[in-house]
């Protein structure tokens, strides 16, 4: 059974710092990996999607990398801002459209950016 672990569980840093969130998964035969943010009482907002054949994806100040063989992904946030405060979730997908397509999530990293 696929298991996803996120480290650290919580992180508090001053505004302006660069930071790295870590995600690991036990079954390397993934189809893709997706990073989300979740604000309190809200649904999930998709940040980045990395296909299994890709090594990284970038969007603005966010960069996500994928090392499928070692079962790891990192989310890099540059020049953090208070508005980045949220819970960040990593999720992997095994299937390619015909089943087993539900995402397996980690428990998330709760991030606080201090003004």
Partner 1 sequence: GAGVSQSPRYKVAKRGQDVALRCDPISGHVSLFWYQQALGQGPEFLTYFQNEAQLDKSGLPSDRFFAERPEGSVSTLKIQRTQQEDSAVYLCASSLVPSYNEQFFGPGTRLTVL
Which residues form the interface with partner 1 (CB under 8 A)? 4, 31-32, 34, 36, 42-46, 49, 89, 91, 93, 96-108
State phi, psi for 84 to the nearest 5 degrees: -80, -10
In whole angstroms, the minimum distance from the beta carbon of 8 to partner 1 comes to 15
When the beta carbons of 6 and 65 are compared against partner 1, the nearer one is 6
Cβ contacts of 52 within 8 Å, gap of 6 or more: 30, 31, 32, 33, 66, 68
In whole angstroms, the minimum distance from the beta carbon of 14 to partner 1 comes to 25
When the beta carbons of 99 and 115 are compared against partner 1, the nearer one is 99
When the beta carbons of 16 and 102 are compared against partner 1, the nearer one is 102
Question: Cβ-count burial of 105 within 10 angstroms (0-12 exposed, 13-18 middle, 19+ buried)?
Answer: middle
In whole angstroms, the minimum distance from the beta carbon of 51 to partner 1 comes to 9
Give CA–CA dist 16/114, Å, rounded: 9
């Amino acid at each position: 059974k696929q298991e996803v672990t996120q480290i650290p569980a919580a992180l508090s840093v001053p505004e302006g710092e660069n930071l790295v969130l870590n995600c690991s998964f036990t079954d390397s035969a993934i189809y893709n990996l997706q990073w989300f943010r979740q604000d309190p009482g809200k649904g999930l907002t998709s940040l980045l999607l990395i296909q299994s054949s890709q090594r990284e994806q970038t969007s603005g100040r966010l960069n996500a990398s994928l090392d499928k063989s070692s079962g790891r992904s990192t989310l890099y946030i540059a020049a953090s801002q208070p508005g980045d405060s949220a819970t960040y979730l990593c999720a992997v997908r095994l299937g390619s459209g015909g089943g087993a397509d539900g995402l397996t999530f980690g428990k998330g990293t709760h991030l606080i950016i201090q003004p």
